[in-house]
Amino acid sequence: MTWEHDTAFPFTAPLTDGSEVTHDVYVGGEGPPILILQELPGIGPETLDLAQRLNDTGFRVYLPHMFGKFGQVTMARNAARLFCVRREFNMFLKGRQSPIAGWMRALVADIKSRDEAVGVGVIGMCLTGSFALTLMAEDAVLGGVASQPALPVFGGDNLHMNPLDVGNARAGMAQKGPGLAMRYTDDKLAPRRLMRALKAAFGEHLDTVEFDGKGHSLLTLDFHGPAYQLVQDYFHARFAQAE
């Protein structure tokens, strides 16, 4: 399986610190829009397969390229590259989000406007996992899936968000329906205590699911069919509800 995008465009918007960044956004498929936020290993063939699966089941995919070499998985190199984009991502922040959150908020609004859509779905994975949940505070976002959320690294019970982020996202979830978070049961990179902390923060407004296994990337490198089906069904239901 492979993914051929239809178009791409540079998107410039402010970070939460006020500085601006630009990243290319790849677009392909037809249907309600879903934003895929890349994970640390990069946008490799498995992530492109995820985009194609979503296209095949009736969704248009927006895929920003934020770091790494497009089309390749380079875990070690991308981890090093994060130090070069540390003004955007800080994997160790406790109690607040990385500055890239501001850019993401602007992007979901832009996607909704571009497609004249009822809303946007968001998938975050690994270091971008929790952003999919806090983006549910945005008027543009109808649903968010946090797959193997991993930030903050070495954070214990702390979240990569502050109480205001949580409160605003909870309000969005209460209006639109729960967010979804999922992980493999033996995933040490997305620890169980972090999932419990997310559930404690969002309560009934967040559905959490754990799948048996020792993998990490449920939707890409360690693909899990039932996890993907759950995500697909989640977004079909969320868009149908909004129409």
Distance of alpha carbon 152 from the chain centroid: 15
Is the pLDDT at 214 greater than 90? The verdict is yes
Tens of pLDDT, residue by residue over 151-210, are 998 888 899 999 999 999 999 999 999 999 999 999 999 999 999 999 999 999 999 999
Round the average pLDDT of the chain to a whole number and report it: 93
Amino acid letter at 32? P
Each residue of 11-46: pLDDT tens digit?
999 999 999 999 999 999 999 999 999 998 789 999
Task: Scan for tokens 């990569």, then name that residue.
Answer: 160
Task: For each of the domains in the chain, give its residue range(s) and CATH number, in order of start.
Answer: 7-242 (3.40.50.1820)
Q: What is the pLDDT of residue 71?
A: 76
Three-state secondary structure call for residue 118: coil
Percent of the chain with pLDDT over 90: 84
pLDDT of residue 65: 95
CA distances from 174 to 52, 104, 115, 167, 202 (A): 31, 21, 25, 10, 10
Q: Which of 164, 159, 128 is nearest to 35 (CA)?
A: 128
